[in-house]
Structure 1
């Protein structure tokens, strides 16, 4: 009899998980500490904590010295966590006494879960809403838009994209292509919101410069490179970053450490429970593997690859695995310079950046490096969108009222970058 009861409970639990009705994770009374390791031994101690428990959530990568690392600590874990820090003489600061209160305050500014009939950029949307909007575009713009499946996810979702093309050639020459990728990290909601804003502008803007930009290239745009993770941020854990592939009791790999270019050499973790887990091998994640297969079909066509992340207000270019500068560094830097200048003109938003390794941190296995190093796309960049790096630890929850301003200034930056590429 007891075996039957256990079976019934297990079936019920499996059904609950399958239907996505698991209880939403909250961070009530989680304290947020900012750590700053100064020695290799201190960094190693923090690495051992990263991924060691569900009671600790590291918001920042734990791979390099002299930087600030924010970590959410469950109330029952605070005492022994602080004891570990003190024992290793690690500098720390309490920056938030209740993580959930900060998250709730941001939701009061713009509720990310409210849904309306019209697709707009005054709110954040769930995956199905965005996919429905993407699928509606060929009906509205049959001569310019087609929908493509760029890959698949572990849970069987499509990685959906749109191609925008106004003509097969420009002045008799075959058009070059531009690829935009968003949503690689699940919790960075401003990333897919920005890519869909760009799609809409490429189709509807009456600005002469935007029209020329839209019509001069074939555009390939994938707003959600990690659909499973994005759905999970809506249903269960707003702070989720990775894919949802199961690994030895933990879930997911960091899809932006999983690409097959200098994979797992630096700036990634081999711990499956870490937020920067590189996966057991390059392209272990079906998301990165199938997406890279699709992008590879465009080899020789793409002149520009843009990856959208958040946050810190940075513009980055290769490489992430080494401080050695890429062969066409001068060209990359020139386009970088005009891009960061243009992004500030509309709202005064200040971007900095440079090569990934030096400008933010060592990080091998990212999509922009793969596009540049393997696919030989000559101009490959990553935008780390609003807010700035000095923002509260919860900067992943950018208020929805900033979606349109973010999109506007990124369009400005893209225009300048594309013009810069044309003059090299």
Structure 2
């Protein structure tokens, strides 16, 4: 009863809007490439000192593409600095608002509990759908709550446990949407929930029947709501910090917190928070994971974009002691992802494959929660996509989800073969 009351309250809050949306008229998106450490340091200073530049990629490696959104009034100075310092750049989007308008047109705004995965859903619709699933599949699906958000929304999830006579089954934990603007992540998570409960495919039925699944499509509900109501490009939570709002919830976990790849500036998109677990979303989810100690054997996190499969660590280039097993699972998973549509995934350990990033959920799962297999999927599109990277057309939701589920089938089978579910 308490959970249902909380859900109703959360759904009511979801309907609130903070007013007009932020507009990005004539904001341009550039792709930059720093060819040496001096150019890299310059880009880093630009990120830290200008609120008219929104960097969409971490600035940590030379010869790696970095996308940046540039405000119109900043354009002249921005290009002058690049030209003066001979930094390579390419215009990939002339007017960001045009792309964002298309995104907003792909939101299913009608209140509905049906799902076809041909549009992006509101938080309210997804929560209503989860409630309806728990009712229609009462024997196998249970609503779970990973805590409350800063704005008192429920972090609502679902536990799938098929009743087949097995008393103790290995647990698999999946969280998505921790970065608010990465809409494809929760969309993919809900598709997988539906497949686990309804698919007649023998491989998927085996996944559903032999494991307990704990799935949270929206680990950052306030931020997701804010991307719909106010600012499509919002990434963080919504807790205020003086004149700025929010922290990066995937830099806030208690795992080498704020040691590298994060910012102490509250206005930064990678602000690590005032302390480890300062964000109630992270604190409550980590407590929930801790309550499942020894039950969870595989941890999965969905992000976008870049088509990477990543594993620990984010704070150091040192590799996990079971890195050979990680490589084996990685190879099987990326191969399976590519089989259906030819989608190419790369990756490896977070620090080297993408960028240093301390305080991530994957590192927390591996280091603190004792979950020996922990992975992050960076879903479509890839880094070569000409756009801001968030704007994945809704017609790609199903293909993205299908190939991701193919990868998870392979991942689970490989993890099983290595004995981690024993």
Query: When the two structures are superposed, what TM-score results if normalisation uses the length of structure 2?
Result: 0.91
Distance 1:409 1:19, change over 3 A: closer
1:114 Cα offset (Å):
4.0
5+ unaligned residues in a row in structure 2: which ranges? Answer: 1-14
Query: How much has 1:83 moved relative to structure 2?
Result: 3.0
Tell me the distance in 2 between the aligned counterparts of 1:106 and 1:119.
Answer: 18
Which residue in 1 is equivalent to 2:292? Answer: 298
Which residue number corresponds to residue 119 of structure 2?
123
Aligned residue runs from structure 1 range 24-103, under 5 A: 24-103=21-100
Give the whole-Å Cα distance in 2 for the aligned partners of 1:148 and 1:285: 20
* Contact kept in structure 1, 2:264 and 2:272, CA below 8 Å: yes
1:315 aligns with 2:309: yes
Say what the alpha-carbon RMSD is for the aligned residues: 1.8
Structure 2 Cα separation of the partners of residues 88 and 280 of structure 1:
35
Matched, 1:153 2:159: no
1:40 deviates by 3.7
Is contact 1:250–1:273 with CA below 8 Å preserved after alignment?
yes
1:9 aligns with: none
| Residues in 2 aligned to 1:201 and 1:354: alpha-carbon distance in whole angstroms | 28
Shift of 1:88: 4.2
Tell me the distance in 2 between the aligned counterparts of 1:377 and 1:169.
25
Deviation digits for residues 355-401 of structure 1 (CA, Å, limit 9, x no counterpart) = 11111111111101110111111110011111111112322121111
Deviation of 1:213 after TM superposition, in Å, equals 0.9
1:185–1:255 Cα contact (<8 Å) kept:
yes
Say which SS state the counterpart of residue 410 (structure 1) adopts: helix
What is the aligned residue count? 403
Question: What residue number does 2:4 align with?
Answer: none
Distance 2:265 2:29 in 1: 22
SS of equivalent to 1:290: helix
CA distance, structure 2, for counterparts of residue 51 and residue 148 of structure 1: 39
**Deviation, structure 1 residue 91:** 3.2
Task: Report the more deviating stretch, 270-279 or 233-242.
Answer: 270-279
Is residue 103–residue 394 contact of structure 1 (8 Å, CA) maintained in 2? no
Q: CA deviation at 1:46?
A: 2.3
The separation in 1 between residues aligned to 2:102 and 2:196, in whole angstroms, is 34
Q: Which residue of 1 aligns with 2:222?
A: 228
Whole-Å Cα distance in 1 between the matches of residues 219 and 360 of structure 2?
Answer: 13
2:247 to 234, 249, 253: 253
For residues 83 and 387 of structure 1, what CA distance do their matches in structure 2 show? 30
Measure the CA separation in 2 of the matches of 1:50 and 1:75: 16
TM-score, reference length from structure 1: 0.91
What do residues 189-247 of structure 1 show as CA deviations (whole Å, max 9, x unaligned)? 01000111010001000111111110101110000000010000000111111111111
2:204 maps to: 210
Structure 1: distance between partners of 2:127 and 2:103? 26
Q: Is the 8 A contact 1:150 1:291 kept in 2?
A: yes
Structure 1 residue aligned with 2:362, among 351, 359, 368?
368
Alpha-carbon distance in 2 for matches of 1:127, 1:140: 20
Partner of 2:168: 174
- Which position in structure 1 is the counterpart of 2:280? 286
- How many angstroms does 1:61 deviate by? 1.9
